[in-house]
Structure 1
Amino acid sequence: MKRSAIKRRPLADTTLATLEPEATEYRELDGNGLYFRVKPDGGKSWQLRYKNAAGKWSWLGLGSYPEVSGALARKKAGEHQANISNGIDPLEHKRSEKARQEAAASRTFRVAAEDWFQYMQAKGLEQSTLDKARTYLDKDILPALGDRQLDDITRNDCANLQASLEARGAHNVAKKARGWINQIFGRAIARGLTENDPASRLSAIAAPAPATRQQPHLLEHELPDFLHALRASTSRLPARTAAWLCLWLAVRPGMLRFAEWSEFDLDAGTWSVPAAKMKMDRDYMTPLPSQAIAALQDLRRVTGGNRWLFPGVGPKNPTISENTISQVYANAGYKGRLVGHGARHTASTLLNEHDWPKKHIDAQLAHKLEGVAGVYNKAQYLEQRRVMMQWYADYLDALASGTAKQLSRNAITAPSLPQSASRPDQ
């Protein structure tokens, strides 16, 4: 339909649908300041012409046709004209509303949480810690608080989230989440996004956690049968080696998972772990008994070209999973009786029962001393621990062979670093 054929105003629906474009853009008055715009490419839309407070004519877009019908455009125009008569400039109102929405979007808990997480990544936290934070942000915290405005979140909101975690028995998660939420609000306050601090003092109403259960571990009389079963393991070499190293070194399984070849000096018989990976304020070094050195020499032929001692499968799994070591023990017939962390309990118990100095045991287990001693005592007792851990690895061998009574702890001398030693699968 040609615009010259228009017979009446307001424009009929058939007119709106059939108006033809021309070489240049044009507008047709619908009535009461409302215009129908037709562009050369056939695009159609509605515009309201009005006089602003400065007495100048302005155009306000009301939406595209046919998404905005004639009836809806007239309704919108009437609402804007009512505001104009009350001194409200619709363009200024639209700009201020957009700015308000953008400001609101920047002040949601989700935005503050993502900013906090990026900050924690930049600090170089241990990957396992970041993975836990990411998991519980996505699984629990953001679904409950993510789309809320920081200013609108109440203490009850935070307390209810904490209670929901406790109700499913996740007391440790509830404790960590409480700390993370508190940090998120603290950083948001520092950035001027809010003055609201609803996550403080939640520990005062935290439900008491059940008594801590020791990790499944083995005592000395249970070790001979276990060691025979582990030597017969059919698990893959990397997983099997990780399981043996967990026994020989009594290190945290999480630290072992992320062990890198660059941290090992097999000639010196040491493994050096930077403080950034540790739950400590200093680097950690463990001596390697001859059994561990031999096993690592074998492993290096398999994974030595990789950054990690125990690489995983695929880009999302750079290393073996947190359950791999425990699964090796389970496959050997000890499911529920020994887990990776439990190997530390076993080593601590056996070393203490055989009267090794507690300070040497604590240093091997990377336990931080409490109080003033924890601040000033940075001794690692490396050479003493080298003797102790070689005795421990030898004692495990002796338990398996039935010759443990012949291995006197008092007769130990400092070990030399061997060129070769028995492998865990021999």
Structure 2
Amino acid sequence: MKRSEIKRRPLADTALSSLEPEAAAYREQDGQGLYFRVKPNGGKSWELRYKKPDGKWSWIGMGAYPEVSGALARQKAAELRTDLAEGKNPLATKQARKSAELAAANNTFGALAREWFDTRRHAWEDGTAKRIIGALELHVFPVFGKRLYAEILPMEWMEFFRSMEQKGIIDQMGNVRRYCKEAYDLARVTGRAVFNPIEGLHKFLKTKPAENYAHVSTDELPALLRAINGYPHSHIVRLGLRLMVLTGARPSELREAPWSEFDLDAGLWSIPAARMKKRRDHVVPLSRQALEALTELRKLTGAYPLLFPGRNDRTKPLSNMAFNMALGRLGYRGRQTGHGFRHIASTTLREHGFAKEHVEAQLSHAEDGVAGVYNKATYLEQRTTMMQWYADHLDKLAAGNVVKGQFSKKA
């Protein structure tokens, strides 16, 4: 609209947004010394006309439009007029307020959480980082993102997490609670917070049963092994399940594995630290049965970089649900998961007398620090013998040739 069409002041929002530029910059009065300035290039801003102590008139900028709305510009103008009435320098008080606003912006929970994310980002894979920041942006930032983190009460956090419980997203709630707690830990250890308001809340929140670790009993294992060996829907998935059983590897480690990590002649699978949960190199000895499965798999996917390439994009791994969906098709939904095979391996090997440290090294469970002095080939000779025994044992179970009894076998 043209400024000649303005019908009221203070200026309406519709007028502010639609005022047209002219050949020269012009100002339109909003009221009480506040003016709206329109430049020839269409840029718009706010200015306050005021009288200095020496009696001369001057202008002070109030910010660009639409970043500074009409309501905000009038609020800022009122604050500066109060300063003038009290004999204060409006330029100085304006800068002081701007500094205070900037400090407040840096002390919001959103800023703190992003700082925490940036400090941890290097330790995560791209997919993990995307999930974490996505969860914060979806659930937390709309509620607490602009709040000063030091002013958010434990009760408010409790109500927030319980609202996530009521939505049935308990796993997500647990993850989000952990992220937020770690953000406060960062503020505490850097001297910006005295206590963590999320500390201890987990005691009063729900936790979802660890379905990721579901596994069948010893008596049910033979039938499961036979079902896997006869899985009819996909040879690739069948071989993936068998390799998961034989190696005790985490599902993600196997599913995302490239062929370049495998030395079939040496019978070794070398997983680099970047792909390991503990962020350290790990070597998995391969039994004769595992090598046979890999040889068969290479005939199917050896032309691609990954053992288990995706159906639509061969440069990306198979869906993270593929193996669990296959187990569901076999009738084991909720009773057995890919991760549950690690529990079966651990229990079976320990029950048959294999040394705890050998089993833990195979599963890459070594502790951090002195107690977990670790290199990628720890107990490799013993683990090679142990995993060959385990593969043979599983084959006997599937064939029904195992006699139950007490064992005392050492690797």
Structure 1 length as normaliser, TM-score? 0.70
Percent identical residues: 40
User: Unaligned stretches of 5+ in structure 2?
Assistant: 4-8
Higher relative contact order (CA 8 A, sep 6+): 1
1:241–1:299 Cα contact (<8 Å) kept = yes
Helix, strand or coil at the partner of 2:110: helix
Query: Distance between the aligned counterparts of 1:64 and 1:141, measured in 2?
Result: 30
Query: Distance between the aligned counterparts of 1:74 and 1:155, measured in 2?
Result: 36
Aligned residue type for 2:112: A
Helix, strand or coil at the partner of 2:111: helix
2:352–2:409 Cα contact (<8 Å) kept = no
Identify the residue that residue 152 of structure 1 maps to in structure 2. Answer: 151
Equivalent residue runs for 1:178-327 within 5 Å = 178-189=177-188, 194-199=192-197, 201-202=199-200, 206=204, 215-280=213-278, 282-304=280-302, 306-312=304-310, 318-327=316-325
Deviations 1:105-140 (A, max 9, x none): 222111211121122112x23667646644543454
Query: Distance between the aligned counterparts of 1:250 and 1:228, measured in 2?
Result: 18
What is the aligned length?
393
2:239–2:297 Cα contact (<8 Å) kept = yes
Helix, strand or coil at the partner of 1:50: strand
2:222–2:398 Cα contact (<8 Å) kept = yes
- Offset of 1:302 from its aligned partner? 4.3
Query: Distance between the aligned counterparts of 2:378 and 2:21, measured in 1?
Result: 84
Question: Cα 1:249–1:87, aligned 2, differ >3 Å: closer, same or farther?
Answer: same
Query: Distance between the aligned counterparts of 2:287 and 2:280, measured in 1?
Result: 23
Equivalent residue runs for 1:26-425 within 5 Å = 48-53=48-53, 56-60=56-60, 83-122=83-122, 124-125=123-124, 130=129, 133-134=132-133, 136-162=135-161, 177-189=176-188, 194-199=192-197, 201-202=199-200, 206=204, 215-280=213-278, 282-304=280-302, 306-312=304-310, 318-368=316-366, 374-376=371-373, 380-404=378-402
Query: Distance between the aligned counterparts of 2:320 and 2:261, measured in 1?
Result: 20
Helix, strand or coil at the partner of 2:309: coil
Question: Cα 1:283–1:94, aligned 2, differ >3 Å: closer, same or farther?
Answer: same
Structure 2 length as normaliser, TM-score? 0.72
- Per mean C-alpha deviation after superposition, the further-off stretch among 258-267 and 168-177 is 168-177
1:25–1:39 Cα contact (<8 Å) kept = yes
1:219–1:350 Cα contact (<8 Å) kept = no
2:353–2:409 Cα contact (<8 Å) kept = no
- Offset of 1:168 from its aligned partner? 7.3
Query: Distance between the aligned counterparts of 1:42 and 1:328, measured in 2?
Result: 61
Deviations 1:43-94 (A, max 9, x none): 99885533224655312467999xx9xxxx9999888656533334555544
- Offset of 1:100 from its aligned partner? 3.2
Aligned residue type for 1:157: E
- Offset of 1:390 from its aligned partner? 1.8
- Offset of 1:411 from its aligned partner? 11
- Per mean C-alpha deviation after superposition, the further-off stretch among 142-151 and 165-174 is 165-174
Aligned residue type for 1:347: A
